[in-house]
Amino acid sequence: MTDMAMTSHAASAASAERAAVLQKLRGGDTVFYWMTRIAAVSVLGLLGAIMISLIIGAWPALTEYGLRFLTTARWAPNAMPDPVLGGLSPLVGTLITSFVALLIAVPVGLGIAIFLTELCPPRLMRPISVAIEMLAGIPSIIYGMWGFFVLGPFLADRGLGGNLSLFNASLILAIMVLPFITAISRDVFATVPPVLKEAAYGVGCTTWEVVRNVVLPYTRVGLIGGVMLALGRALGETMAVTFVVGNSFRLPTSLFSPGTTISAAIASEFAESADLHQSALILLGLLLFVLTFCVLAAARLMLARLAKKAGA
């Protein structure tokens, strides 16, 4: 009798303890869940906050110039009586340098990816991929410095523009986006089912014909996505371009003349700007953000479409 009473007493003590532990665990569970959830939502909030802060900062310039900002090439923050600020030349500079950079980097990147997937001896594949990806690891200020001290004088000696030119900036940008194009092309080439390639080889196609008629058509969407991802990078690249582009707010007359880009304009003038001048620079930043947002969003949607196709 006493025995039973004691065990039931012990049991109730144990169950009380158990309930307390469970309660504590449940509490910990809820806390952890909400911590992760808040962190996740704050990522969304971050993008919104960036957008809103840019719009607020750009508002004075936006109301002052409106759409004229996009068509005015004159940039005279100290003009009397009123400063004239037009974003046309940085916008044009950004588009030209990014476009020329892709014109150089896309064929080279595709060539490297074809080399890596079709020609390269397996032993060399990893070292070469890693070496190309190292190009993406080098900080952009190093590219700027190298372009300024080494590449610029080299190009100037050969009559390809001065030390500071849009061409110099485009070439540096091309080197910087090359690893992105290579890595994505290599990855999407790997999604081609081997059977398709083997069938083409089986009917006697050469390597080039297999690439041209099987691999490239099959991976087209992914390749375009990869190129646009690289374009997004090139549009916003700052330090590498600032040193070599010349920071001249005039509409460029040729590829070999100095110019400026949106990011270079912000980097070189923002610290010493105030009032409307600063607001105009933030407006340029907003323009750049919207531009890259659209390009990157399109790129992601295309790559997602390819991933779905590969999964199906």
Half-sphere exposure of 150 (CA within 13 A, CB side): 9
We find the least distance from the C-beta atom of residue 231 to another protein, in angstroms, to be 10
Looking at 65, 69, 75, 148, which residue binds another protein (CB under 8 A)?
148
- Name which of residues 2 to 31 contact another protein (CB under 8 A): 25-26, 28-29, 31
Tokens of 66: 């409106």
- Name which of residues 207 to 226 contact another protein (CB under 8 A): 207-209, 211-212
The CA distances from residue 309 to 178, 218, 232, in Å, are 26, 10, 24
The answer to whether 58 and 281 are in contact (CB under 8 A) is: no
Question: What SS3 state is found at 263?
Answer: helix
Residues 6+ apart with CB under 8 A from 70: 86, 87, 88, 91
- Name which of residues 253 to 292 contact another protein (CB under 8 A): 263, 266-267, 270-271, 282, 285, 288-289, 292
Looking at 61, 100, 101, 112, which residue binds another protein (CB under 8 A)?
112
We find the least distance from the C-beta atom of residue 172 to another protein, in angstroms, to be 10
**Residues binding another protein: number (CB under 8 A):** 88
As a dihedral over the C-alpha atoms of residue 21, residue 23, residue 26, residue 30, rounded to 10 degrees, the angle is -130
We find the least distance from the C-beta atom of residue 133 to another protein, in angstroms, to be 8
In eight-state DSSP terms, residue 151 is I
Stretch that binds another protein, among 50-58, 83-91, 218-226, 248-256 (CB under 8 A): 50-58
Looking at 14, 56, 70, 76, which residue binds another protein (CB under 8 A)?
56
Looking at 8, 9, 12, 33, which residue binds another protein (CB under 8 A)?
33
The answer to whether 256 and 155 are in contact (CB under 8 A) is: no
We find the least distance from the C-beta atom of residue 86 to another protein, in angstroms, to be 19
